[in-house]
A = this chain, B = another copy of it.
Amino acid sequence: MLTIRDVAKKAKVSVMTISRVINNPDKVSAKTYQEICQTMEHLGYQPSHIAQSLVRKRTYTLGVVMPNIKNTFFNSWFRSLEEHAKSFNYTLLLGDTGEDIKHEMNHVRLLHSHRVDGIIIVPHSCDTVSYLIKSKMPFVVADRFIPKVKSDYVLTDHYAGAFEAVEYLVSLGHKKIAVLKGPGLIYPDIERFRGFLDVMKKHNIKDPELYVRNCDFQESLAYEAVKDLLGRRDPPTAIFSFNSIMTIGTIKAVQSMKLSIRDNISLIGFDAIPGQSIFRPAITYVLQPIEDLARNAVQILLKKIEHPNSRKKYRLFLKPKLIIGESCGYVK
């Protein structure tokens, strides 16, 4: 691999002149600048980012730790993160955990050893967040909130999103509302469920937990749960699914039972499903402000990197939006 010394030798100047051409072109005469640029191009030389990072103590790399890149919400969000990071000349290093706590810690350690300048994390465990605090690396928590540990965060107001969704169902006359949720261990899950319960309470709907199922955010469990729920003697009239994966499971279950979404069962979900734009009936869903979430996460993280001693706290709650499709009908 070519080094700066090779270029220096070829150009018959010192390594410092090469280094200046790369970093401070104005501190070098126009003529040598031209010549050296040509030499570098001709040789096919690229400065070693590794060596630069070592001496500069900056990698211009940001780490991202997230639970599932296959989830529509997360991959759109990641795409947005990339674009913003790129605009500040930062590269992203991705760690996808598959909702596995062990992987999460491994990824954080890996990013730590890669000396990323900062980390954007959607945490599953508070251990990782504690680790980050201890490591003194700048980081921002996204999408979730870990009550036990202090951190800066950017997240959707999941409570408001769920509240609005369930209000909408109730306004259509639904009282028997099924909820497909997770195990209640992470913030979005807890908040969405709280939003659901509060609407039920507000409208004095009794026995709100009658049709609530923990499907662990998995398609197959949602599929089974829906088949079971709709097979009951007194089935729910609407289903509220807490993520797009479970919404897919729900749709498959309804299709397999030859029932009709909207006519037989209303459906509302968090996040757009894959193929949202062509699926019919269009599924009504809660749209998270993905672009805003990404932009703010990057901006806050970069501020923290630039001002490591600032004690400023960043706590952002962004409002989601209910996108009304055609998957919810009036109760007869």
Residues of A at the B interface (CB closer than 8 Å) are 1, 44, 46-51, 53-54, 57, 59, 69-70, 75, 79, 82, 91-94, 96, 109-110, 112-115, 131, 134-136, 248, 251-252, 255, 273-280
Contact = CB atoms under 8 A, between A and B. Distances in A.
Contacts of A50: 50, 53-54, 59, 114-115
Contact of A75 (B75, B82, B131): B75
A306 to B, nearest CB: 17
A255 B275 contact: no
A60 to B, nearest CB: 10
Contacts of A54: 48, 50-51, 54
B278 A46 contact: no
Contacts of A252: 277-278
Given A70-B79, A79-B69, A93-B93, A112 B46 contact: yes
Contact of A279 (B46, B91, B110, B278): B278
Contacts of A92: 94
A135 B69 contact: no
B91 A93 contact: yes
Contact of A275 (B75, B96, B278): B278
Contacts of A46: 109, 112-113, 135
Nearest to A252: B278
Contacts of A44: 131, 134-135
Contacts of A251: 278
Contacts of A114: 49-50, 91
Specify how many copies of this chain sit in the oligomer. Answer: 2
Contacts of A113: 46-49
A70, A114, A255, most chain B CB atoms within 10 A: A114
A69 B134 CA distance: 35
A69 B76 CA distance: 10
A186 to B, nearest CB: 23
Contacts of A91: 93, 110, 114
A273 B272 CA distance: 15
A279 B44 CA distance: 49
Given A50-B54, A70-B79, A255-B280, 20 more contacts: A1-B136, A44-B135, A46-B109, A46-B112, A47-B113, A48-B54, A48-B115, A50-B53, A50-B115, A51-B54, A54-B54, A69-B75, A69-B79, A91-B110, A93-B93, A273-B275, A274-B274, A275-B276, A275-B278, A275-B279
Contacts of A131: 44
Contacts of A134: 44
A81 B79 CA distance: 18
Nearest to A57: B1
A74 to B, nearest CB: 12
